[in-house]
Amino acid sequence: MTAPGKSPVVVAVDGSETAAAAAVWAVGEAARRHTPLVLLTAYGFDDTWFGSTADMPPDWIALKRAEAEALLHRTRETLEALVPGLPIWTEATDRGRVPALLVASERARILVVGEPIGALLGLFSGSPGLDLAAKARCPVVVVRGRESVDGPVVVGVDGSPLSEAAIGWAFEEASLRNTHLVALHTWHDGDLSHTGIGSGVFPGESLPETGRRLLAQRLAGWQEKYPDVPVERRVDHDKPRHRLLALSHTAQLLVVGSRGRGGFAGLVLGSTSQALLHHANCPVMVVRSGER
């Protein structure tokens, strides 16, 4: 069932309901990709990279490890019942959650976490040391809301070459899910210098026409690579977070780039990302530019 040598899907497990939902999403993603699933739990401290439990009593460390391994065992049994035959590996580490996830991202195809509430808020706080999506070496999926089983994959396209990685991942996800892709480009008044449109306007061409042309240019090569994926192109006069949040109610997945220009600029650190990570009605994938 699994192709040899494929990078695994890695999901963070901590015993919470949001992490359990993320694990269920992750096992489905691993099954679609025919790749192993790694269940990762970390029982160390986020403010220390190495030797995070070095000063703790041995009995405490042993207890924490036993609790972590018991959690991983229960979770694996549940997921094995959902997808029999899929290789599911477990890993418990005494690192802090953020360091453990960042290290795991170097070998993962996709890193999956639960909805960032409670303790997980720090992972997306905007701090350079804690911003998981900005630092991870692979795309990060935040599982939240309820994905529409028959809905599309939605990708935000900002008109710059830096959104290319997000577009590629969105096409791949749509192909794996046998669904269509909605490619969204937006602009709004007072911010045209950051839309990716400003320098690309042709004489006599309206902003909607420019947006449609740039969107077609960004999608052309990917449509050739994924001819099985129907594409709906949308160019809207609005802020991206408004359109993306609206589309999330009927989508399977939102895909956005973490670097770029326009309404998607600073996505991981800015208001758009906060809106998506805390209010989107479906899982959100954040892709760094240039990711493998």
- Indicate the residue among 123, 143, 163 that finishes a domain: 143
If asked whether residues 56 and 95 sit together in one domain, one would say yes
Question: 127-142, pLDDT tens digit by residue?
Answer: 433 367 778 899 999 9
- Which residues form the domain of 13? 9-143
Mean pLDDT throughout 15-25?
A: 93
* Contact between 263 and 285 (Cβ < 8 Å): no
If asked whether residues 110 and 203 sit together in one domain, one would say no
CATH value at residue 273: 3.40.50.12370
pLDDT at 23: 97
* Residue 279 φ/ψ, nearest 5 degrees: -135, -10
- In this predicted structure, which of 99-103, 106-110, 257-261 has the lowest mean pLDDT? 257-261
Whether residue 2 is contained in a domain is answered as no
Mean pLDDT throughout 105-115?
A: 92
pLDDT at 202: 56
> Apex CA 135: angle with CA 21 and CA 127, to 5°?
90
CATH value at residue 14: 3.40.50.620
Specify the pTM: 0.85
The number of residues making up the chain comes to 292
If asked whether residues 241 and 262 sit together in one domain, one would say yes
DSSP letter, residue 206: -
Question: 222-250, pLDDT tens digit by residue?
Answer: 999 999 999 999 998 888 888 999 999 99
If asked whether residues 49 and 102 sit together in one domain, one would say yes
Question: 159-189, pLDDT tens digit by residue?
Answer: 665 678 889 999 999 999 999 999 998 876 5
The total number of structural domains that make up the chain: 2
